Structure 1
Amino acid sequence: MDRPSFRASFLHPRFWLLWIGFGLLWLVSQLPYRVLLLLGRLLGALMYRVAGSRRRIAAKNLELCFPEKAPAERERLLRENFASTGIAFFEMAMSWWWPRARLARLAHVEGLEHLKQAQAEGQGVILMSLHFTTLEIGAALLGQRHTIDGMYREHKNPVFDFIQRRGRERHNPDATAIEREDVRAMLKVLRAGRAIWYAPDQDYGAKQSLFVPLFGIPAATVTATTKFARLGKARVVPFTQTRLADGSGYRLVVHPPLADFPGESEEADCLRINQWIETVLREQPEQYLWAHRRFKTRPPGEPKLYDKRDR
């Protein structure tokens, strides 16, 4: 995709409130990091109270995935998850507008050699990630250290789309945004030996998925990871990020490439990916995007898992 450019139409009065909102967010985002963490937690507490549908979805997901935990522990996780989501709002602003040097001080990166080795060998990389609440800042911090192309869905509001893309692409001038549905472009960059951020952890329906267990529940799991790795002749390299509890920043880990991937079948690959997802989510459940209806697509004949009002 071409780089976003400012257009005179962005100054139309219908966009003024959005510009004012972004201006206020920019101003607030200049506060010290620990203050922003506190503000994020307060915002998360407010969201917990007013976002009833998302709260119910997240609570149901925690119940499905962690039935062994006591209700009180799941409630604690739920509140922490909303706090993490509130913090993510300010992390987005930090990622878009903080000076690059200030932002870089928060990064604690491990395993970068796996990306550099693939790059030296001209090997494309599927940087397999998850939809953590720290997604935006994790991608920005890693993007400062290595060129990472990203999957992208255009926002309906052109001003929001302009600001979002400018904010995301500023960390590495060589990075590109690829439309999520543009498979041809994705395969092209993989075959060119580039790395692209990709997350296979959401429910995109039965048409492009297989039902394999996730936390013991049949989950519609996309087979695209296998197809992209095979057709793009690319390595699948897991990537995780964690917001550190001591307020010192973020631990970014580029893990070793998956060995023997693709495997003997798409089903075996999907199961392997879901097992990895389970392992990662058990390590930091409070920082995941549980408000997504991960189990909305059900095998034929299986009952729906979410409240009718939340579907």
Structure 2
Amino acid sequence: MKSRLIYWLVYAVMWLFSALPFKVLYMLSDLNYWLMYYVGKYRRKVVRENLKKSFPDKSDAERLQIERKFYRYLSDYMLEDLKMIHMSAEDLYRRMTYKNTEQYLELTEKYGGIIVMIPHYANYEWLIGMGTIMKPGDVPVQVYKPLRDKYLNELFKRIRSRFGGYNIPKHSTAREIIKLKREGKKIVVGLITDQWPSGSEKYWTTFLGQETAFLNGAERIAKMMNFPVFYCELIKTRRGFCEAEFKLMTENPKETAEGEITEMFAHYLEQTLYREPAYWLWSHKRWKASKAECERN
């Protein structure tokens, strides 16, 4: 009962905020940035340590500039995420535009599905509108990690399925994808691939000059289904607008070496961050442990 009450309270607050026009939301975001950065100092130690280790050649002043720009982005991202409750498909498509859709659609048709590897970058949550660029009947699949609270979990599933997305919990990914394939559906599977991996799902490489573990689930699914793999290059063009370009990494995943696809993703993401570092989630505790520490546990 308590969780259900929390669900409705949270949804009511989110609904009210999402009804506000972007102009007002960004005024609130400016205030939220000031409170989060200067008053609450939200994870500033984590962000500074991550930036220092990732960009040791930059000066303190340069890293401070990235840090402040990151917090402004983070504040915008929080409210832009809420806005999805009210956004129309037309408005979402206007604000999240897509490039290289011809190859994306061609290979989806040819192989019955593709894998899109996505980083926590820019307006990545707005990719739930990918169904607008797909053929009628094709299924945009979103793999997610379920929340512990079932009511809040249902709330976020509801938001993420507004534009035709098919939500699959992480632990059921392979089973659900096989089921959709057997039903004759052509599918695009979007997988966030840059978070700290849990359990044994780790591929280790050097990323931003540091020993880093990546999820290898996208690579395993691509090889199992023989789906071509794309990297989603996200570019924040201006406040409230983003561009997604799908870059083909491999058309034949079964012909790649073990770890090669995940390595390619890490390389592409590294280039994205060297181009514009501020729009990645630096507040994540991305480097929780070394490879040696993980192997000991």
Provide the TM-score with structure 1 as the length reference.
Answer: 0.82
Q: 2:288 is matched by which residue type in structure 1?
A: K
Deviations 1:260-305 (A, max 9, x none): 6455532444332211110012222111111112221202279xxx
**Runs of 4+ in structure 1 over 6 Å off:** none
Paired position in structure 2 for 1:197: 190
The partner residue of 2:227 within 234, 255, 261 is 234
How many matched pairs?
287
The partner residue of 1:280 within 272, 282, 289 is 272
Shift of 1:120: 1.9
- Gap change, CA 1:248 and 1:223, over 3 Å in 2: closer
- Gap change, CA 1:41 and 1:286, over 3 Å in 2: farther
Q: Confirm or deny that 1:180 pairs with 2:170.
A: yes
Deviations 1:59-87 (A, max 9, x none): 11111111111111111211211111111
Contact 1:241 1:253 in 2 (8 A): yes
Q: Confirm or deny that 1:102 pairs with 2:95.
A: no
Q: Confirm or deny that 1:219 pairs with 2:212.
A: yes
Deviations 1:117-150 (A, max 9, x none): 122213321111101252212x233233334201
Deviations 1:212-266 (A, max 9, x none): 1001211112333332221111111111333322x46221222234356455532
**Unpaired runs of at least 5, structure 1:** 1-11, 303-311
Paired position in structure 2 for 1:34: 23
Contact 1:149 1:197 in 2 (8 A): yes
Contact 2:89 2:163 in 1 (8 A): yes
Shift of 1:55: 1.9
Q: Whole-Å Cα distance in 2 between the matches of residues 83 and 95 of structure 1?
A: 19
Contact 2:18 2:84 in 1 (8 A): no
Contact 1:237 1:255 in 2 (8 A): yes
Paired position in structure 2 for 1:305: none
Q: Whole-Å Cα distance in 2 between the matches of residues 301 and 156 of structure 1?
A: 27
Q: Whole-Å Cα distance in 1 between the matches of residues 240 and 53 of structure 2?
A: 32
Q: 2:274 is matched by which residue type in structure 1?
A: R
Shift of 1:53: 6.2
The partner residue of 2:285 within 268, 290, 293 is 293
Q: 2:149 is matched by which residue type in structure 1?
A: N
Contact 1:126 1:235 in 2 (8 A): yes
RMSD of aligned Cα (Å): 2.6
Q: Whole-Å Cα distance in 2 between the matches of residues 133 and 252 of structure 1?
A: 10
